[in-house]
Amino acid sequence: MMLRIKRVPTVVSNYQKDEAEEGARRVEGCGRNCLNQCCIPGAKLPLYAFKKRNVNNGDTGVPGHDKREPPVAFLDSLLLGQWEDRMQRGLFRYDVTACETKVIEGQYGFIAQLNEGRHLKKRPTEFRVDKVLQPFDSSKFNFTKVGQEEVLFQFEASEDGEVHFFPSAPIDVENSPSVVAINVSPIEYGHVLLIPRIFERLPQRIDRESFLLALHMAAEAGSPYFRLGYNSLGAFATINHLHFQAYFLDVTFPIEKAPTKKISTLNAEVKVSELLNYPVRGLVFEGGKTMEDLSYTVSDACICLQENNIPYNVLISDCGKRIFLLPQCYAEKQALGEVSAEILDTQVNPAVWEISGHMVLKRKKDYDEASDENAWKLLAEVSLSEERFQEVNALIFERIASGNNGNENLPEDPEVKPRSHEEVDTTINKSSRTAMVSGTQECIVLQ
C-alpha cells in the first residue's frame, strides 16, 4: 500500500537563502540569528503554556480529560501549521514529502521509506558511540546554534493551571525555556525536536522532569498518530544535547500491534509488560494513577540503563499513555564485527523509528526489495539475547523499587519474577569479556 502526502518544494540547506531577502533583513549579533547570547537579547518566540495533568489540579491525570477548547489547536494549527510554514520558507535540507513510502505487505505491516537525502545531508555524529553518558561539549554542534527561524514555539507549563497561547513572548534565558524546533533532516511530515530547558545545555540523558515534559507534549497533541521518540547515545542519537524527536504518520506502527505479556503491576498502578513475537525485546509501560506515576517509572528505568551504560530507545505512543523501552546493542555488535555484511551494506542505523517498524532506507535496492523477512532480519540484530534481556530487567526493577525509598512502585503481582541484582552480578562476572564496562555483557564496550 502506497502512502501519499502533499509535496512542497524546498531547498537543500538551512542557510540557502534568497540574497535579496537576506540583504533586506537586518540581523543582529553573529549574523546567524541563533539562540546564543550574541543574538538572543530582545528576541521573541510564540509560547504555548500547557495545563499540567495531575490529581492535584482536580483532573484524573488522563490525557484528554479537560474538554475545553484550547486557544489554538496544538497539533494541527500550531505544530503542523508552523512546520509547513518552515517548509514553504525552505529551511529543510531536503524535501521529505517527495520520499517514497509504502506499507510492506505481510503479517507485521512494516513501513518502508526511501530517504536518500537524509543519508547524504544529515549531520555527522560528533562523539563516541561506546558511552551512553558523556558531558556536554559546547564546541560541538548543539541546539543553541540553530537559527531562531528553526524554532516553532516555546513549550512550558502554565502557571495558573489553564492553557494559554502567546504569539510573541520574550525568551526568558534565566529560566531556560523548553522549545520545539524543526528537524532539518526530517524523517516524516511534521518531524520536530522537543528540546527541554535549552539554555541549560543538558547532555543527551533522560531525567524525570524532561521525560514528563515529553509526555505532556504527547498529551497536548492528542493524536495516536503523533509519537515522540528518544535515542540515547550509543543507540543512534547524533547530537549530545538533550532532545526528543516527534512526527505525524497516520499508520499504526508494527510495535504498537505486537502482542505483550504482563510482567507486573506496580503499586502506582503502572502495568509493565514484555513484547512478544517482535524482533526487538522490550518493555511496555502503561497506566498509573497520574501521568507522573507513569512518567517517573519509565524515567527511573531509563536512568538505570544510562548508569549501567546500556544504550536504549524509547517510543512514546497513544498520546503519552503507552511507552516502549527498548535496550539495544547494535552499535557494539557492529564495532565487534558481529553484524553481517548484508545488513551493514544497507547503511541503516536502527534507532527508535526503525525499531518501531518505520524503516528509513537509504538505497533504492533495499526499498524495492523491502519485505517482512528483511525488516525482521535487520531488527533482530538490535535486540538483546533473552538471557541478557532478563538480566537488564532485573536491574530496571531494582531501580524502580528504590526510586521512592522502596515504598512505592514495587511489583504487586509479578507474573515473571526478575532475577535479583546479586544473581545478575554473578552471571555477568562468570561470562565477562575483556575490557567490559559495568552493566554490559552482550553489548561490551572496548576501552
Question: Which is the catalytic residue, given 191, 243, 358, 421?
Answer: 243
Range of the structural domain that residue 162 is part of: 44-53+74-404
CA distance linking residue 143 with residue 201, whole number of Å: 8
Written as tens digits, the pLDDT of the chain (447 aa) is: 554 433 333 322 243 233 334 333 444 568 788 998 889 989 999 999 999 876 433 343 444 445 567 889 999 999 999 999 999 999 998 889 889 999 999 989 999 999 886 655 555 566 567 899 999 999 898 999 999 999 999 999 999 989 999 999 999 999 999 999 999 989 999 999 999 999 999 999 999 999 999 999 999 999 999 999 999 999 999 899 999 999 999 999 999 999 999 999 998 899 999 999 999 999 999 999 999 999 999 999 999 999 999 999 999 999 999 999 999 999 989 989 999 999 999 999 999 999 999 999 999 999 999 999 999 999 999 999 999 999 999 999 999 988 654 334 445 444 444 444 444 444 333 333 322 233 333 333 332
Which residue type is seen at 48? Y
Asked if 389 and 382 touch (Cβ cutoff 8 Å), the reply is no
Residue 428 lies inside a defined structural domain of this protein: no
CA distance linking residue 308 with residue 329, whole number of Å: 13
> Is 119 one of the annotated active-site residues of the chain?
no
Residue 237 lies inside a defined structural domain of this protein: yes
Using alpha carbons only, what angle is made at residue 80 by residues 54 and 186, rounded to the nearest 5 degrees? 105
Residue 16 lies inside a defined structural domain of this protein: no
Note the pLDDT of residue 32: 82
Note the pLDDT of residue 123: 54
- Residue the block writes with cell 505512543: 317
Residue 120 lies inside a defined structural domain of this protein: yes
pTM of the model: 0.84
Asked if 221 and 250 touch (Cβ cutoff 8 Å), the reply is no
Paired strand residues for 147: 34
Residue 445 lies inside a defined structural domain of this protein: no
Residue 411 lies inside a defined structural domain of this protein: no
Residue 30 lies inside a defined structural domain of this protein: no
CA distance linking residue 438 with residue 447, whole number of Å: 12
Residue 364 lies inside a defined structural domain of this protein: yes
* Pairing state between β 111-114 and 151-157: unpaired
Report the CATH number that the domain containing residue 376 is assigned in CATH: 3.30.428.70
What is the total count of domains within the chain? 1
